Structure 1
């Protein structure tokens, strides 16, 4: 889509189409085990400093889930393109990739395994914040990451243990870049990226241990995560290493919620020109990342227990989230993201409205997409207003 205001008839058509979907859910219950469905989402971006005023189709997703007493599984596939920020391709669906695809077995309600493209259990789960846009943890390879491998989960009394081995990243999807995966992972750089590297990540071992806690009326968990993997460089044909650890705390009290996390990441890729940066990619793009740094995330929220407007509005939540990637190289500028927002359900629609601010954030404010998370980009705060409306079926 061209940057500029969307014609009113087109915006109205998109919104009317979503409202038309507020009829009964279209998910298909094939039998007592299989369930087929998906989602359609539209987005609006308002960024006056760069003259961006866009409304358009964001995503179409298709999913399948399987559940029985012992066997479980799930898969989801995503489609993008032709609309902002993918206006550089001609057709919707020109950019597409799988999000997850795994099968699992429950030994009993407390023990299960998952095999396939499943979520890497590192840090706060399932996400580091209440936001739609997620934290910088997603861009540094920690949050909402799916890889190919196996994971074992055990729940005993107040303890939750997850251990996994992941052989490699997800299969490449379709797009214009080498970074055509849902998760941001170590990826060979696209041509023309200054300082781009050519690494892949293999043999990821990860463990996460969490314990239920209670501090006064605050109920939640505290946990520790460890990760180690190999980094293979195509240019030098040598193996480097990635090591990371995280501590987290999450709790709720009478509608209030908090999520806190600290993580340390150290990568030592065997690049021809040193180890200060490594290229990562996802969502049809690749960019450089500082290999060593401290990651901090904090999220505070309040969710109303009541519904409003005769039950039309439910799960009304207000939240704010801050994340920081503090780079170890003193010559690099740190990256920051702050989000103030609200989310709620409007009958079958899921709605997020967020004021997003970034500093050296590749996704926000016209900062350098390829260098912001490495040496730095636009080293000042920039903001945007973001709206996402989704119909899930």
Structure 2
């Protein structure tokens, strides 16, 4: 989108004062979506971009027994997808599932639903997410079945996922919303061609009070098969995690440790496995420890005559500590704030990455594996969304 077009869209959204509500089709069915604009500033790389980021269409069904939700996303033409000619040439489903409530404490979900691993639904309060997303652990949606049950102070979840999401549209093998094991594009040096199948996952969480802090502590574990298209052999993927999330008045904290171990049967180097998503593929170190810590503070009240509400400031650090000694560790650090401006929801973040495929112009294909530039790089990011 040209700058004037983005400016016009922003002006329209900024001037909207209607409440941000989905379209209520019936007592049980709501239709909605979002339009988002993004701003990217990185003077060191000469990046001064803003334009249309995403259009999302969604549906949600909720009755006493039957539940379900779906969301589809569209991208293209503006940064970082300026290489395609038209908006919408890159598109994919985020989720699409149906479920049944047996009672108030038990339900079953079928379809493209979220894999219950670690902190849910996200590992941090940031918009850009953590490195857990890059290595295929955070915000992952796959095709399968998930059972959820509350037992006293416990929440138990277990799932079986036959395969990753069906491919969307794009220019890459990585044409999914979630970053998942994906056969590498031809441009990825040392790339592998694996498919993840038969993912088993279990998560147990207990409500926990620590002094004035109310929250939860939990453990998660997963196991899956990695089928290599070249060798026609099966490898394995294992991961486990422990986490804590708590709040004390306006303060919030999230902590997680996870271990990921992959033993692929690649035709070449097995020290990395190719992952993909958001119209790209890249390599990820086969084994490593993941750490993340998130601290947030919600500022009560309304500001600027009631225009600004829901202000939150936050900071997050995440690290993928790779087991391969000659691989450079990947790190990400984010400081930011989010708030509502009339009908808009806005996130403003200072993003910093080291050997991060998405930040600072490091090596996209290799940063999460052997490493990239191995220096910290920062950039400014803002996302402005109108959700309906």
TM range (shorter): over 0.9
Count, aligned residues: 388
The DSSP-based 3-state class of the residue aligned with 1:91 is coil
The DSSP-based 3-state class of the residue aligned with 2:347 is strand
Which residue is 1:17 aligned to? 12
The equivalent position to 1:143 in structure 2, one of 123, 138, 161, is 138
Once the two structures are TM-superposed, the CA of residue 26 in structure 1 deviates from its matched residue by: 6.2
Deviates more, 1:65-74 or 1:298-307: 298-307
2:34 corresponds to 1:39: yes
Once the two structures are TM-superposed, the CA of residue 327 in structure 1 deviates from its matched residue by: 0.3
Once the two structures are TM-superposed, the CA of residue 11 in structure 1 deviates from its matched residue by: 4.1
- Distance in 2 (CA, whole Å) between partners of 1:19 and 1:239 is 52
Cα contact 2:16–2:342 (8 A) shared by 1: no
- Distance in 1 (CA, whole Å) between partners of 2:340 and 2:270 is 46
Matched ranges for 1:211-250 at <5 A:
211-250=206-245
- Distance in 2 (CA, whole Å) between partners of 1:252 and 1:317 is 13
- Distance in 1 (CA, whole Å) between partners of 2:269 and 2:5 is 50
Which residue is 2:150 aligned to? 155
- Distance in 2 (CA, whole Å) between partners of 1:39 and 1:21 is 13
- Distance in 2 (CA, whole Å) between partners of 1:328 and 1:50 is 31
The equivalent position to 1:27 in structure 2, one of 14, 22, 36, is 22
- Distance in 1 (CA, whole Å) between partners of 2:380 and 2:176 is 26
- The runs of at least 4 aligned residues of structure 1 exceeding 4 Å deviation read none
Which residue is 1:201 aligned to? 196
The DSSP-based 3-state class of the residue aligned with 1:40 is strand
Structure 1 residues 57-89: Cα deviation after superposition (integer angstroms, max 9, x where no partner): 000000000010010000000000000000000
Structure 2 runs not aligned, ≥5 long: none
Cα contact 2:190–2:269 (8 A) shared by 1: no
The DSSP-based 3-state class of the residue aligned with 2:48 is strand
Once the two structures are TM-superposed, the CA of residue 24 in structure 1 deviates from its matched residue by: 4.3
Matched ranges for 1:300-315 at <5 A:
300-315=295-310
Cα contact 1:21–1:391 (8 A) shared by 2: no
Which residue is 1:377 aligned to? 372
2:129 corresponds to 1:134: yes
Cα contact 1:193–1:287 (8 A) shared by 2: yes
- Distance in 1 (CA, whole Å) between partners of 2:43 and 2:213 is 41
2:334 corresponds to 1:339: yes
Cα contact 1:187–1:198 (8 A) shared by 2: yes
- Distance in 1 (CA, whole Å) between partners of 2:303 and 2:372 is 43
- Distance in 2 (CA, whole Å) between partners of 1:353 and 1:392 is 17
- Distance in 1 (CA, whole Å) between partners of 2:22 and 2:117 is 31
Cα contact 1:196–1:278 (8 A) shared by 2: yes
Matched ranges for 1:1-393 at <5 A:
7=3, 9-25=4-20, 27-393=22-388
Once the two structures are TM-superposed, the CA of residue 47 in structure 1 deviates from its matched residue by: 0.3
Structure 1 runs not aligned, ≥5 long: none
CA RMSD of aligned residues (A): 1.1
- Distance in 1 (CA, whole Å) between partners of 2:371 and 2:20 is 45
Structure 1 residues 195-254: Cα deviation after superposition (integer angstroms, max 9, x where no partner): 000001000000000111111000000100000000000000000000000000010001
